[in-house]
């Protein structure tokens, strides 16, 4: 009786195209992990024979390619098949791996939908399905009973639908990445109450609405936040300033407007701020100079106006500065002689004027500078001598200014 039930079970698990092997329940070799993995493999195309070591005659799957076991119970706790060129569906067979902690199938050609039952594997901590061809929406049920799930990466698939509301109830989450899909709608408002959140990336989707950050002021562990390339609108909420552990903030490529909120000056652990391609207005605040860890500051393609603040000279770590395509006026502040680590400096397409300060070209000052774009401004006067002192320079663009003398209007130096 039991045997025939088991046979029936195997029949429903295996697809008809597969050799059906009948296991016996009292066979010591029989192991749920082997069964689950063989069922999973049976549904796949494996053009590079990456899974040829997966042999159902084996006593244990622990030496199979991509499989790791917990040495205390010999059960599979990790399945990492990144970049194996596998295609097919992520089959239910995996639900048999009851001790699975890490499931990583990144960089394959998996298709079909995300199985909502996967996080019910009580030990599952990390799921990485990034860079496949999964479709449909991320099921609401996926996060409803999410056990000890910490890391979820569904980036670079073909997922649609909303970011599920249930995400907010999955309190163990630390890293969430839904980047580069076609997800739409608003972000669930409860996301910022996930106390363990360290990174959150929904860049490159079709998300919309005002950014609501209620709760984020308590997320001291949040280091990386990217809402890049979506359709978010409205202002940056003041709550952002409470997120004091933030290292990287990327809000570029949205429809955001208003000024840079005052509270952002509290983000002094930040290395990178990208606000480019929005409709921000107002001045670049003086306090920006207090964000001493900044290595990348990109405010390009907005409507910022006023002078470049003197305080910028305090940003000695700065490597990439992009203020291109705004409405900035005045000259470059002399303090910038102290930004000696600059690699790329783009202030093109503004209304800057005056003589170019000679320190820009002072030998040994901007020793690493690779890109200097001053084009389309109102700079005048002669080109400072010492222009050849910038040894690392790969691109220099001074076109569309009012320089006089026999100066090349536009040129680039390729090293």
Ligand X SMILES: *[C@@H]1O[C@H](CO)[C@@H](O)[C@H](O)[C@H]1NC(C)=O
Footprint of ligand X on this chain (CB under 6 A)? Answer: 85, 107-109, 130, 133, 135, 155-156, 158, 177, 179, 199, 201, 224, 276-277, 300-301, 313, 322, 324-325, 334-335, 337-338, 344, 346, 348, 371, 373, 375-376, 397, 399-400, 410, 412
**DSSP assignments along 16-61, one per residue:** TTS------TT-TT--HHHHHHHHHHHTEE-TT-TTTT--TTSS-S
CB of 232 to ligand X, least distance (A): 17
Q: How far apart are CA 270 and CA 245, in angstroms?
A: 8
Residue among 111 and 268 whose Cβ is closer to ligand X:
111
Token pair 């890490």 is found at 102
CB of 270 to ligand X, least distance (A): 15
Q: How far apart are CA 306 and CA 297, in angstroms?
A: 17
How distant is the alpha carbon of residue 146 from its chain centre? 22
Query: What are the angstrom distances between the C-alpha of 63 and each of 51, 73, 75, 230, 307?
Result: 11, 14, 12, 44, 64
Residue among 77 and 204 whose Cβ is closer to ligand X:
204
Residue among 99 and 192 whose Cβ is closer to ligand X:
192
Residue among 31 and 130 whose Cβ is closer to ligand X:
130
CB of 108 to ligand X, least distance (A): 6
Q: How far apart are CA 245 and CA 297, in angstroms?
A: 17
Which residues, in sequence order, are CB contacts of 191 under 8 Å at separation 6+? 163, 167, 168, 197, 200, 215
Residue among 145 and 199 whose Cβ is closer to ligand X:
199
CB of 200 to ligand X, least distance (A): 7
CB of 84 to ligand X, least distance (A): 8
Residue among 168 and 375 whose Cβ is closer to ligand X:
375
At 87, which helix (H) or strand (E)?
Answer: strand 87-89
CB of 166 to ligand X, least distance (A): 21
């Amino acid at each position: 009786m039991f045997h025939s039930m088991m046979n029936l079970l195997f029949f429903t698990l295996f697809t008809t195209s597969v050799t059906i092997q009948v296991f016996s329940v009292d066979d010591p070799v029989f192991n749920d992990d082997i069964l689950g993995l063989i069922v999973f493999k049976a549904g796949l195309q494996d053009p590079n024979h990456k899974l040829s070591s997966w042999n159902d005659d084996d006593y244990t799957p622990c030496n199979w390619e991509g499989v790791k076991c917990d040495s205390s119970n010999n059960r599979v706790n990790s399945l990492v098949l990144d970049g194996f060129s596998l295609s097919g569906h992520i089959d239910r067979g995996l639900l048999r791996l009851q001790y699975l902690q890490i499931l990583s199938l990144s960089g394959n050609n998996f298709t079909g939908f995300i199985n909502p039952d996967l996080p019910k594997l009580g030990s599952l901590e990390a799921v990485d399905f990034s860079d496949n061809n999964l479709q449909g929406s991320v099921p609401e049920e996926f996060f409803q009973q999410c056990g000890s799930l910490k890391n979820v990466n569904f980036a670079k698939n073909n997922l649609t639908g909303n970011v599920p509301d249930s995400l907010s109830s999955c309190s163990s989450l630390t890293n969430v990445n839904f980047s580069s899909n076609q997800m739409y709608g608003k972000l669930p408002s409860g996301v910022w109450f996930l106390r363990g959140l360290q990174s959150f990336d929904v860049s490159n989707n079709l998300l919309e609405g005002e950014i609501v950050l209620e709760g984020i002021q308590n997320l001291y562990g949040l280091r990386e936040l990217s809402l890049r390339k979506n359709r978010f609108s409205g202002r940056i909420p003041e709550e952002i300033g409470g997120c004091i552990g933030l290292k990287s903030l990327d809000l570029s490529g949205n429809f955001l407007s208003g000024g840079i909120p005052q509270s952002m000056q509290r983000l002094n652990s930040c290395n990178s701020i990208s606000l480019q391609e929005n409709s921000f207005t107002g001045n670049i605040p003086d306090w920006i100079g207090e964000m001493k860890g900044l290595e990348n500051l990109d405010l390009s393609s907005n409507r910022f106006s006023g002078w470049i603040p003197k305080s910028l000279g305090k940003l000695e770590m700065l490597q990439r500065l992009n203020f291109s395509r705004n409405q900035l006026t005045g000259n470059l502040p002399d303090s910038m002689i102290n930004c000696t680590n600059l690699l790329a400096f783009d202030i093109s397409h503004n209304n800057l004027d005056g003589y170019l300060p000679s320190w820009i070209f002072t030998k040994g000052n901007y020793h690493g500078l690779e890109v200097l774009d001053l084009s389309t401004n109102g700079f005048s006067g002669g080109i400072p001598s010492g222009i050849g002192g910038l040894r690392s320079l790969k691109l220099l663009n001074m076109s569309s200014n009012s320089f006089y003398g026999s100066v090349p209007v536009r040129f680039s130096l390729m090293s």
